[in-house]
Amino acid sequence: MAKPYSYDFRQKVIAGIELDNRKKCEVSEIFNISRNTIDLWLKRKAETGDLKPKLNKPPGNNHRITDWEKFCKFATIHGDKTQAQMAELWEGEISSRTISRALSKIGFTRKKKLMVIKNAMKVSVKHFWSK
């Protein structure tokens, strides 16, 4: 996203219009910005009383699961069910994909036991013909 003009630059442009009594088109040519930008700044100054740019924060998600302790208990109780069934059992409207992301976030695995690979063939096997 484009970086906003600095606050002091905005003040200089608006001062050129208000204090120097210049026209918007003249100031836009001097500072090499569009007239629409000046109109937007004047509108913001009229509404808020200041020229500061809006904060450039991306919108956040609407997190459906906020109580993680409660979800951990829920996951241990209903861990044998599918994610779609867990979504139906969870209070409120929630999708199975949200359940999937939440399960991975808490480190919950669908595997029932961890597989440990052991080397069971330590002793060499003698074939019946090699006697």
Summarised one tens digit per residue, pLDDT across range 27-59 is 999 999 999 999 999 999 999 999 888 877 766
Query: For residue 79, how many C-alpha atoms fall within 13 Å in the half-sphere facing its CB?
Result: 15
Q: Is-above-0.85 flag for pTM? A: no
Instruction: Note whether residue 22 is domain-resident.
Output: yes
Structural contact between residues 42 and 73, judged by C-beta atoms closer than 8 angstroms: no
Q: How many angstroms separate the CA atoms of 34 and 44, rounded?
A: 16
Cβ neighbours around 111 below 10 Å, total = 6
Instruction: Note whether residue 28 is domain-resident.
Output: yes
Number of folded domains that form the chain: 2
What would the pLDDT profile of 79-91 be if each residue is shown by its tens digit?
888 999 999 999 8
The range of the structural domain enclosing residue 36 comes to 7-48
Look at residue 55 in the predicted model and tell me its pLDDT. Answer: 78
Instruction: Note whether residue 39 is domain-resident.
Output: yes
Look at residue 24 in the predicted model and tell me its pLDDT. Answer: 92
